[in-house]
A and B are shown apart, each in its own frame.
Chain A
Amino acid sequence: MTTTIEAPGYQASKTFTLWTEIRRQASRRRTQLALGFMLVLPLIILLAFQLNRDDGNNGENGGGGEFSALADLATQGGPNFTLFTLLVSSGFLLTVVVALFSGDTVASEASWGSLRYLLAVPVPRARLLGIKLITALLYSLLALVLLTGMALLAGTLRYGWAPLRPPIGGEIPAGEGLLRLAAILGYLAVTLLVVAALAFLLSVSTDAPLGAVGGAVLLQILSNILDQIDALGNLRTVLPTHYNDAWLGLLSSPLQTDDLVKGCISALIYATIFFSLAWWRFLRKDVVS
């Protein structure tokens, strides 16, 4: 007896397409705000530098350290301004944005109750997760690119096109500097994968979007704090955020890639563990919300 299993026209691989999910997320206010902020932030920083410059400058108030060195360099051309913008936002802002996109995606559907209807379509669970994850990662990447692109554009328009000048000295021609910036962006993306994976794991484990986003950010902060404690010694190398600053190695000549490589390994392992747990959990989960 020939029976059709599914309704006419239904095909599991055609359900819940990436484009559908991208549109669904794009319609959300939080997506628009987060991406918008990425565009506005470089302008705010630019404005801050502008104000500082205007109010009389006997500002040799020291400050010292590498941060002020970077800040000094920020106004020396578009690529440097971009570098500075990335430095100030890599610590916390990008973590929050990525946690937002990845942590909110499944949990918010659960809290609205729309998750069970998607599963009843039926969208296979693995597919639902895959599409959700890819979309979240795409939006995270878009945020990164928007931030960098806007910083580059605004910085170049305001401060001109100049070679990249990292704080250690030396000068990287603007063309190669762009490549370095792209590499930095790539590394940031890899390290942020851990945040995304953790937020995603929490997202499939809870109905509270805030819990997933906040939880991921909190754990990142915890890891950062532990990383400051010298007494932990080598134990710190297993912390997920231990190598987060390794991208500074991309600013030296020749490139220092040791920590970058270790950072990538660490990030990939953590991301794999968290993603696997997320899948394992969600495929077996009783969806009761």
Chain B
Amino acid sequence: MPTSLAARLRRALPRVRWTRRRAIASALVVVLVLGLVGWAVVPTPASYRTTDQMITVRTGPDGTTPVTLDTRLYLPKSANTKKPVPAILLAHGFGGTKDSVTSDAKDFADLGYAVLAWTAEGFGHSGGQIHVDSPDWEVKDAQRLIDWLAARPDIRKDGPGDPRVAAVGGSYGGALALLLAGKDKRVDAIVPMITWNDLARSFLPEATGKSPVDGVFKKQWAGIFFGNTLGRDPQCGRFAEDICKAYLSIAATGRANPDAVALLRKSSPATVLADIKAPTLLIQGEIDSLFPLSEADANARGIAATGTPVRVAWFTGGHDGGTGPQSEVDRLHFLTAQWLDHYLKGNGSAPSGSFTYSRIAGLNAQGRGYVTTGFSVPDYPGEVSTQTVEVQGPPQPIANPPGGNPAAISTVAGGDSLASVVNGRFSTEVPGQHADFYSEPLDHAVDVVGSPQVRVKSSGDAESPEARRSGPSAGSGAAGAVLFVKLYDVGPDGATLPNGLIAPIRVTGGEPVTVTLPPIVYRFEAGHRLGITVATSDQGYATPADPALYTVKVDPAVTLPSIPGTPIANPNVIWRYVLLGLLVALAVGLATALVVGRRRQRRVVRRVDAALADTPLVVRDLRKQYADGFVAVSKVDFTVRRGQVVGLLGPNGAGKTTALRVLMGLTRPTAGDVLVFGHPLTAGSPVLSRLGALVEGPGFLPHLSGLQNLQLYWKASGRPEADARLDEAVEIAGLGTAIHRRVKTYSHGMKQRLAIAQAMLGLPELLVLDEPTDGLDPPQIAEMRRVLRRYATDGRAVLVSSHLLAEVEQTCTDVVVMHKGEIVASGPVDDIVGDSPTVQFDVSDVDTAATVLGELPSVRSVVSSGNGGLVVDLNGTRRADVVAALVNAGVGVDRVMPRRRLEDAFLALVGGDTKASGER
């Protein structure tokens, strides 16, 4: 039934009284939480407006071919004709569109730059073909976009037709920025990222320094790019014809002819470096098998040679490694913003030319990614120090797999996964296809920054019959041997290929060649070994199709460069000072709290009412209202003097226990005070030590024996053991051998006795007992009465609360009667009891007797008490007269008993209303 369910629910839930204070506090908390959540969730309005527009530019070698570009302009809302803003041309990577750079564009726009993003020709909705950053096409497109910017009044100008503009982009966009800056002097700053210096060398690398014509084709990367462009032409997609042709020829043979190399060179910044006057921030990825750090190195040297400011930053990421950890993203953001802020907006002093790089330091504790440590070197490339580590190994024969299959794996091109590359789990070697040379375990960690070098000698195996039979292609034949040289970090867990980078070489003679490995930033830990591996195949490269056998030998010396840098100060260092400050504040706060607490305690102790110093207890005008508004005690005054046994009498809920709680310092009175030996009682007041108590039943540690409980309790008081009078207390408890049993096993009465014994430990001057006879049997109750009376004899006092009248009457010298939180009577028991005017008659005929008595003029009331008894209020009439009247009426009188009992007094005082004050 729904109603009963609701009722049950209401009962089950905690009953909270809604006081005003609680309501206000709850409301405050709710508002605070909502405010915080709202602040985090509600988006802030964008600081810029965007406009999408198709812009047609005249481009091509003769500058007349119209190509439509899909553009989007992010214009800060603050920009207008009076306050024109500098602009940024933001170029995307290969295969992307203007949408790929949205997040960067927004960041720049927020910084107050107008950002023009566009889809390069041959991609997305733009027209035209892919000419791979050709100076005649893509670069010219960008120049026309500069013209377009120059025509806008809200863009800042350096001169007529010359807007203040920077070119920023990654990879395909990065090369565009370099080429544009080389060709167009209006560009004021560039930030090229993860891009190439020489496109031919990038796709046809050769690590002994041979030209791309002899390079080893990076077929996997090339395939990724070529397959990435959708188009009508099934063979060439949207590639321009010349590019397509070059690709097809290279991919088919694995070799590039000089024409193809020349075409790729045309699209390479290497050709224009000397013309670049725009300050350049070069950002290159360390985990990049497509455009390794050496490409940026070539760009940096070329641009700096003419005196143009250049700054180089390497980060843990790249075409294989993605954006890297957040710390890296933050560093690059900062560098870029700083660069543009100075060279575009003209703010601040010129950024230094310092060179920064980073190295993976460990696991990120939060994001489960990696964390890097950045290092800074005053200038590029800094002071390179080298050391050599020796590797050993006999000459080893290795086989070239026909068709390049199976092939070793060094990295996953474009894997975008830092973890896989760093773990080195992807790098595998094929048995029989690699020769290994290992160093001894390193006795100290070796840091490598830059390109390691090693000398490799390989020769066709003359003794091998297979080699001889396979004719001219064997060994160092006409095609030459293609080998891959790798530097491994060999730890206890196995070998790791740092950043997945390898050096392809083509060896045509039997002479040893010096191989320059790709630059890395890496630490070889102490105890690890260096491994130089020379392999014949790699999944990412085109290798000779014919089987062959080579013998490989490596010179022992491996040269390892290093550029010592100072660790970049961590912006989070500030938190350390915050922590330090917090600790100091906490220490000071704690000390203050201790001092204040102690002083307050002392002040309370000093207030003494000397006149009452010898009175065990004085309660004055006590009032207690609980937090939920209930008034348990409204006004209570009484005194307990030495030698008295005072009974605090009242029906259940009269407020006795509340009064005692206040008396124990357990609850604070709302008004009035309690003086114990003249000392005002507060929570924990030392004067409580002269008081022993049993309030609201026993409280013991259930797993300890009765005796242990008493001992521990006394121990908690910190007083001398001899003062405890433990034996006497144990005797009073009267538990016999049960005192050694665990309290858990006690009956209610046993616990009660133990609790009384505990209250009496040390024989306190004032003993306060709340319903002490609860749970005791009659002999024990009688014994308890004797104990209490005896207890009060030598100057001590006892306060006993009870709702049992007989108990109080028989035990106490004085009584305080409470009802509904107030005192209705108090005084010596005899005084309170002696007033009783009633007499009990046991008669033979109750009805007649009642009639007779009712007719007597002075009798106030007649009440039948059952069993032939009548309780008569004589109101001054003599008992003899009443008996005479009854006898005369023929009623036999068995017994006449004066009712000198507290019960009547009590009932008379509380007016027969025994409803608990709790139910008022």
A residues with a Cβ closer than 8 A to B are 1, 3, 5-12, 14-17, 20, 23-24, 27-29, 66, 109, 112-127, 165-171, 232-235, 238, 243, 245-249, 251-254, 256-259, 261-262, 264-265, 268-269, 272, 283-284, 286-288
Contact = CB atoms under 8 A, between A and B. Distances in A.
* Of listed A121, A233, A234, residue having the most chain B CB within 10 A: A121
A122 B719 contact: no
Contacts of B55: none
Interface stretch (B230-238, B681-689, B790-798, B851-859): B681-689
A113 B526 contact: no
Contact of B666 (A126, A257, A268, A286): A286
Contacts of B723: 7-9
Interface of B: 36-37, 40, 360-366, 368, 370-371, 373, 491-493, 496, 525-527, 567, 570, 572, 575-576, 578-579, 582-583, 586, 589, 597, 601, 605, 608, 610, 613, 626-627, 661, 664-668, 677-679, 683-691, 693, 695-704, 708, 712-713, 715-720, 723, 758, 762, 764-765
B717 A10 contact: yes
B684 A246 contact: no
B366 A268 contact: no
Given A16-B716, A252-B362, A6 B690 contact: yes
Contacts of A112: 699-702
B365 A288 contact: no
Contacts of A254: 361, 373, 567
A63 to B, nearest CB: 14
Contacts of B491: 169, 171
Nearest to A260: B365
Given A118-B716, A123-B684, A249-B362, 12 more contacts: A6-B687, A7-B689, A7-B765, A9-B718, A9-B723, A20-B712, A116-B696, A169-B525, A256-B361, A257-B576, A258-B572, A288-B667
A167 B703 contact: no
Contacts of A265: 575, 578-579, 582
A245 B579 CA distance: 18
A233 B39 CA distance: 11
A200 B286 CA distance: 51
22 contacts: A3-B677, A5-B687, A7-B762, A10-B719, A14-B718, A16-B716, A112-B701, A116-B696, A120-B666, A120-B695, A121-B688, A166-B362, A170-B362, A243-B366, A245-B366, A249-B363, A249-B365, A251-B363, A256-B371, A262-B572, A272-B586, A286-B666
Contacts of A288: 661, 666-667
A286 B626 CA distance: 8
A84 to B, nearest CB: 15
Nearest to B583: A268
Nearest to A234: B40
Nearest to B589: A272
A17 B583 CA distance: 27
A113 B699 contact: yes
B678 A125 contact: no
Given A165-B492, A248-B363, A10 B686 contact: yes
Given A15-B716, A165-B492, A122 B689 contact: yes
A6 B762 CA distance: 13
Nearest to B697: A113
B575 A261 contact: yes
B689 A121 contact: yes
B683 A125 contact: yes
A120 B661 contact: no
Given A27-B703, A29-B703, A118-B716, A113 B764 contact: no
B492 A171 contact: yes
Nearest to B577: A261
Contact of A27 (B37, B601, B613, B701): B701
A116 B664 contact: yes
Q: Which 3 A-B pairs give the minimum distances between C-beta atoms?
A: A252-B362, A113-B699, A14-B718
A209 B366 CA distance: 33
A261 B667 contact: no
A90 B893 CA distance: 86
A4 to B, nearest CB: 8
A7 B719 CA distance: 9
Contacts of B664: 116, 119-120
B716 to A, nearest CB: 5
A286 B361 contact: no
A122 B686 contact: yes
B269 to A, nearest CB: 36
Given A268-B582, A268-B586, A20 B363 contact: no
B687 A119 contact: no
A245 B211 CA distance: 51
Given A112-B701, A166-B362, A269-B582, A20 B715 contact: yes
B462 to A, nearest CB: 42
Contacts of B758: 117
Nearest to A122: B688
Nearest to A12: B686
Contacts of A264: 579
Contacts of A262: 572, 575
Contacts of B696: 113, 116
B665 A3 contact: no
A127 B594 CA distance: 10
B365 A171 contact: no
Given A16-B718, A272-B586, A169 B493 contact: yes
A39 B704 CA distance: 25
A259 B664 CA distance: 49
Contact of B365 (A119, A123, A259): A259
B275 to A, nearest CB: 42
Contact of A119 (B572, B627, B683, B712): B683
A230 to B, nearest CB: 11
Contacts of B679: 5
Contacts of A246: 365-366
A109 B699 CA distance: 8
A119 B492 contact: no
Given A5-B605, A120-B666, A235-B40, A171 B699 contact: no
Nearest to A252: B362
Given A7-B719, A232-B40, A286-B667, A1 B613 contact: yes
